[in-house]
Structure 1
């Protein structure tokens, strides 16, 4: 079982590396790891398990956050309309995105960052992502608003990018051009 002790923190070199593609079909080990990552995210949202195992709640986890150089991430959350997004993604790739931007009004956080980082993180309001799912089949996800933000955050990890790299250093709370607040 993955716990917070398995998650590398800011400053660890794996968080700044561009990850390697996972060979397709994925190995049993890769599928098992991705299932464990998804289980961690689900457990972190379960109050009892989170307290028992001292898990910080999260909505996503990328392999580099475990010090693993592979293009894999897991997400598990509900959007404001109650739609569940629960995916293990292998080699996710953004194939199209909107010009319109979106940002979380409360800012973003990260399981690998143990401090509060203030500021708006501009992201694409809509993205289409292609990936291989846990079943080994290709997935095509059309995501908007919160769902798009979460998946872009995880894909950034696969490219060695941290969420705060997007924050305007001059004015962290500057409203990004052509954007809307989400959440």
Structure 2
């Protein structure tokens, strides 16, 4: 168990649909710890991390789920894990329309310094397992996420399907920005 290297750019694993996890074994437990330690190692830069971002092709991601459905600069929740997640319902309202004041740029640890506004469903319900439910043979859980939490969950689930947020931005005709610590945002093409 360790902090793993996050794959970036055009790494082929980022474009692969991840494999379903059928049972919990030591390798899956170790993978979960690696995901948590790697996300924690990013400091405040990351709110989620999928297995394929550390070059593992398994359907699991970790995410920080915020109590008030809004990413906070003063509070960092412990990462939760989601195994074999699937979307079972989405709202018809878009995150960019419902609350334009809260519109936020989406970024990714695998695409450093790249950001874009991405239109996504404002609410999403997913079905998923945890280590405990999968190991004990229980039914998967279902949970609804809204606002920022919905964006994070959809972003990480996209990774498990080989999709990057920039794919959505391009498809939607959104502007893509490169923002570094010392530069003004600049528009780029991918």
Q: TM-score range by the shorter chain?
A: 0.7 to 0.9
Distance 1:130 1:83, change over 3 A: farther
Asked if structure 2 preserves the Cα contact closer than 8 Å seen for 1:87 and 1:134, the reply is no
TM-score (norm 1): 0.77
**Superposition pairs of residues 2-151 of structure 1, within 5 angstroms:** 2-3=3-4, 6-23=5-22, 25-45=23-43, 57-78=45-66, 79-80=69-70, 84=77, 86-103=79-96, 105-117=103-115, 119-137=116-134, 138-151=140-153
How far apart in 1 are the matches of 2:103 and 2:60? Answer: 27
Preserved CA contact (<8 Å) 1:120 1:172: yes
SS at match of 1:92: strand
- C-alpha deviations, 1:55-95, integer Å up to 9, x for none? xx200000111111111100124233979573111101111
| CA-based RMSD | 2.3
Q: Which runs of 5+ in 1 are unaligned?
A: 47-56, 174-183
* Superposed displacement of residue 29, structure 1: 1.3
Q: TM-score scaled by structure 2?
A: 0.74
Whether the 8 Å contact between 1:41 and 1:76 is mirrored in structure 2 is: no
2:167 to 158, 165, 168: 165
Q: Say if 1:39 and 1:143 are closer, same or farther in 2 by CA, change over 3 A.
A: same
Structure 2 match to 1:49: none
Deviation at 1:39, TM superposition (A): 3.0
Question: SS of the counterpart of 1:90?
Answer: strand
Q: 1:89 to 1:171 in 2, by over 3 A?
A: closer
The alignment of Structure 1 onto Structure 2 pairs a total of residues equal to 159
SS of residue paired to 2:166? helix
- After TM superposition, the structure 1 = structure 2 runs for residues 167-182 of structure 1, keeping only pairs within 5 Å, are 167-168=169-170, 171-172=173-174
**Structure 2: unaligned runs, 5 residues or longer:** 97-101, 135-139, 176-190
Change (3 A) 1:134 1:35: farther
